[in-house]
Amino acid sequence: MFQLTNKSAVVTGGASGIGEAISLLFARQGARVSVLDVDEAAARRTADRIVAEGGKADAQRCDVSSGADTIAAMAAVEKAAGRIDILANIAGVVHIGTVETTAEADFDRVYRVNVKGMFLSTQAAMPVILKGGGGVILNMASIASLIGIPERFAYSTSKGAVLSMTRSIATDYMTRNVRCNCICPARVHTPLVDGYLRSTYPGREQEMFQQLSAYQPLGRMGTPEEVAQMALYLCSDEASFITGQAFPIDGGVLVL
């Protein structure tokens, strides 16, 4: 079960955190993985790790907020792999602030990456997916698209757009053999979290880490690997009857 043998998968933001975990797991399940990331060196490290484990992968720099970059990236994948069966839109940025404390430039940056970037990547990949007879699109949303979270104004509204985008794509393409779903994680322990704690709470990293962990009723953050397992299911043939849905992986947050 959950094999991706002979599938061609593209993972944006695939060089670190959740994107890296998805890239590695998809490759271990048989997919040929194209790791796309704005950090080309990091993307190549992830691809090299896949190859070292016996998998198939390539890497390239891609700024998802650039139409030229996404078009070039998807064309390169088609040339190398011949098709795109899976597009995992994982690239994203975060921002902390209320509507009053969010600068216009910060709001624009969050939307440029989280919303426009997902639109451009999907728009560039869709003709290739359709040419191959269909496929799967997986978007990274957040529990912030389902509930209110303090001081996440720009981030939450961007992830709300991701949820709506997911349902729109699913509706438009379900008769053309393209499924589209999104995952809505609570806090996940990634290098991004560690960097945030170091820069925002120097000397109090462990204390604040515990506070962030306690937000989830299960008492900890999720792991990138746990999110990757859900991504694998949704992109596998076992989930062939599922489209247009949002899947929380939240440590119990939505129960309370």
Contact (Cβ atoms closer than 8 angstroms) between residue 209 and residue 197: yes
Unique residue bearing structure tokens 């440590």: 251
Distances (CA, A) of 140 to 6, 102, 181, 242, 245: 24, 22, 9, 16, 12
Q: Residue 39 contacts by C-beta under 8 Å, 6 or more apart in sequence?
A: 15, 16, 61
Q: Tell me whether residue 196 is one of the annotated catalytic residues.
A: no
Name the pairing type of β-strands 246-249 and 135-140: unpaired
Distances (CA, A) of 229 to 26, 77, 106, 162: 9, 24, 32, 20
Strands (DSSP E) contained in 66-222 are 86-89, 135-140, 178-185
DSSP secondary structure string for all residues of 46-98: HHHHHHHTT-EEEEEE--TT-HHHHHHHHHHHHHHHS---EEEE-------B-
Residue 1 DSSP label: -
Which candidate in 111, 155, 173, 201 is catalytic? 155
Cα torsion angle, 131, 173, 180, 119, sign: positive
Q: Which residues are catalytic?
A: 155
